[in-house]
Chain A
Amino acid sequence: AQKVTQTQTSISVVEKTTVTMDCVYETRDSSYFLFWYKQTASGEIVFLIRQDSYKKENATVGHYSLNFQKPKSSIGLIITATQIEDSAVYFCAMSRGRNYAQGLTFGLGTRVSVFP
């Protein structure tokens, strides 16, 4: 069975600095997709960034980037130049199967607090 583990329950950072979150996963699939989502204080869950397992390049979107280490089954999220509005819970997730649209398996999340 798949498993996604986020060991950091909470992180506090000062605004405009960089925060890094860890995530490790377990899967038997040879091809899979990895995601990071953000849940805001209002409860809204928003897609941030995706890494395809067959791609060696780390994905980057805006001030979000990934540190994909496939041999270690690790997909870390890096947020640079953090802003107050980056305060949220961040979820790591992976596709539940190789076939499309079978849903995602989520980690328990890391709460990030950004302070002025």
Chain B
Amino acid sequence: NAGVIQTPRHKVTGKGQEATLWCEPISGHSAVFWYRQTIVQGLEFLTYFRNQAPIDDSGMPKERFSAQMPNQSHSTLKIQSTQPQDSAVYLCASALGGSNTGQLYFGEGSKLTVL
């Protein structure tokens, strides 16, 4: 089984540009999560989907950040008008829908650098 796949692995944008990050969860996993990792804040929860429906976006910055899951094999995180403080590693994770433990399986992350 392939793990969670994230693309691109590295992305460099200029201030004010848009960045879109992609995630393919593990086949059969119905929950998909986005996290942001920085040295200062650590691993921060952003948002999650269950069976493609957005469930909780309480961690998402209200402006400029959006996430979608158009089908069960694909989720995107879009950041509009990127700012230097958006520089981070963005991690996607998936989980079994029937799991009552919450164990997550992480992708390798997309490192975003905003110049």
Contact = CB atoms under 8 A, between A and B. Distances in A.
B98 A45 contact: no
Interface in B31-62: 31, 33, 42-43, 45, 48, 50, 55-56
A43 B33 CA distance: 17
B99 A101 contact: yes
Interface string A67-97: 0000000000000000000000001000110
Contacts of B93: 103
B106 A44 contact: yes
Interface string A33-44: 101000000111
Contacts of A108: 42
A50 B101 contact: yes
Given A43-B108, A45-B91, A100 B42 contact: no
B103 A103 contact: no
B106 A101 contact: no
Contact of A101 (B31, B42, B45, B91): B31
B109 A33 contact: no
A102 B91 contact: no
A60 interface: no
A52 B102 CA distance: 11
Contacts, number: 63
Nearest to A98: B100
A106 B31 CA distance: 18
Contacts of B31: 101, 103
A96 B106 contact: no
A35 B55 CA distance: 22
A42 B33 CA distance: 21
A101 B50 contact: yes
B25 to A, nearest CB: 12
Given A43-B108, A44-B108, A109-B42, A104 B91 contact: no
17 contacts: A33-B101, A35-B103, A47-B105, A50-B103, A91-B42, A96-B45, A96-B102, A100-B99, A100-B100, A101-B31, A101-B48, A101-B95, A101-B97, A102-B48, A103-B33, A106-B43, A108-B42
